[in-house]
Amino acid sequence: MYTRRSPRTASVSRSGGVHRRARSGARTAAGILATAALLVSACSSGSSTTSTASTASAASAADDTTALVALPRPVPAALSPYYRQQPAWRGCGVPGFECATVKAPLDYDKPSGGDVRLAVARKKATGPGERLGSLLVNPGGPGGSAIGYVQAYAGIGYPSEVRARYDMVAVDPRGVAGSEPVECLDGPEMDTYTQTDATPDDAKETDGLVAAFRTFAEGCGADAPRLLRHVSTVEAARDMDIVRAALGDEKLNFVGASYGTLLGATYAGLFPHRTGRLVLDGAMDPSLPARRLNLEQTAGFETAFRSFARDCVRQPDCPLGGAGASPEKVGENLKAFFEKLDARPVPTGDADGRRLTESLATTGVIAAMYDEGAWQQLREALTSAMKKNDGSGLLVLSDGYYERDADGGYSNLMFANAAVNCLDLPPAFDSPDEVRRSLPAFEKASPVFGEGLAWAALNCAYWPVRATGEPHRIEAEGAAPIVVVGTTRDPATPYRWAKALAGQLSSARLLTYEGDGHTAYGRGSSCIDSTINAYLLRGTPPQDGKRCS
């Protein structure tokens, strides 16, 4: 499963410079090898609303799952030393921030079996006004660096009144960035991986894709054989409770985006009595199995693409169709372009000799679906590639998605993404034959992206560690009001997911943003921002069902 973060988060994490490692870098099993790991949803046929049948089906899926069980209130004696930690704060090279390391047990069932070192950063409340405690933030992924996010955006860009009264805090989840990052491939190996043909036309190309998935998985397994078994969302949520205690807070206040909503909801399910003010923006539905998640996210990207297509043909520089062209026609033209690249990649001027392949181009287009602010850049990149035989613009978009730096190194985002997703749920597919049988459904969900996203969902079939999680509901009985935010044309976390999660959480208040892009807070809607700020600062949740534009 792969939700990815908001574009703002992605650029922030790159500029934050926090997730570098000894090896030159790499990532997960998808690009469009990874993009499908856990996508989000769909409103069918490009519509921003969900049909009655779809809603009923989703409710039925949730009803068939068990609910996450809350942990006992008392801290077990074996975990007490972790809860009594006093972080040793120090400067960390970013003005206004201090950093520390907090330990958590590698295996919560065997606390004496070794530790995981968690990187934590904070910026203290600036005042004026009474301090409200710590506000933890997580940008999603899974695999996004929360520290990179807080240092480069949240800690300096969240509303001043929020930063005045909260210590802004981030902890990189286990296996991510500064917290013992999982590594799988070096830079050149990752370059090869991201260029792998993700829409195989024959047995030879299918074997090549499977080999790429195996190589990626084997690299991850060789790098962190023990840690790889303990990077689940449940374990990361339990880590947050240890961090909460180390910070001296009675309750956890939290803003999570994209996959961060699953992390926050899981915390609420495990520790409802210690749940403070939670904002879950771009929500995920924990009750769905991996194949369903991938299929619905595929449809979500189709919804976003159709919105882009309608906008594109109104612009004078749209290379995919003239004024009046339908979204279907725009999609056909883009698909035809991808097929040309499959046969003959185009030059990019890249210093490492990379050409624009179908897989890299598809990833570049998908990257631009996260934020309507990137649509102009996408039009320009497509024009250069389609009319000038210059793939450099789409390569830039793809590299940004993968967090590839100018020196050819990659952050560990994609590695951690696969590690968490493949542990949280059983694989979407077990074999290429299963993918082929599902292609019609995926291509119906998205004629443009369906084939590639279906094949991308095969990555966990070759993972070296068996999944420990299953689909489940999260009810969090007894938790304080939780604000669940959904965007109607969100590509990566479909709006239906927000409705589903809000329907599961006993104290949820659903807040809807009628618009494009991934997540809503801090993206230009004064209605959304003022509503969330009022909740964070005064504890006043919105009326359930409130809508903003």
The catalytic site residues sit at 258, 490, 518
Here the contacts of 443-448 (C-beta below 8 Å, separation 24 or greater) are: 445/42, 445/44, 445/295, 445/296, 445/298, 445/299, 445/302, 446/298, 446/299, 446/301, 446/302, 446/305, 447/302, 447/328, 447/331, 447/332, 447/335, 448/302, 448/305, 448/331, 448/334, 448/335, 448/338
**Residues 6+ away with beta carbon under 8 Å from 398:** 31, 194, 360, 361, 363, 364, 367
Q: Hey, what amino acid is at 461?
A: A
Query: Which residue from 242, 248, 246 is spatially nearest to 271, judged by alpha carbons?
Result: 242
Other CB atoms within 10 Å distance of the CB of residue 372:
20
Six token digits for residue 282: 């771009």
- Beta strands 115-123 and 166-171 are antiparallel
Tokens of 440: 């019609």
The amino acid sitting at 20 is: R
Residue 108, number of CB atoms within 10 A of its CB: 18
- From residue 15, alpha-carbon distances to 80, 331, 403, 412 in Å are 37, 33, 10, 14
For the beta carbon of residue 142, count every other beta carbon within 10 angstroms: 34
State residue 259 phi and psi, 5-degree precision: -55, -25
Contact residues for 76 (Cβ-Cβ < 8 A; gap 6+): 111
Q: Considering only CA atoms, which of 455, 400, 464, 463 is closest in space to residue 196?
A: 455
Give residue 485's identity as a one-letter amino acid code.
Answer: V
d(CA 5, CA 493): 10
In whole angstroms, give the CA distance from residue 437 to residue 441.
9
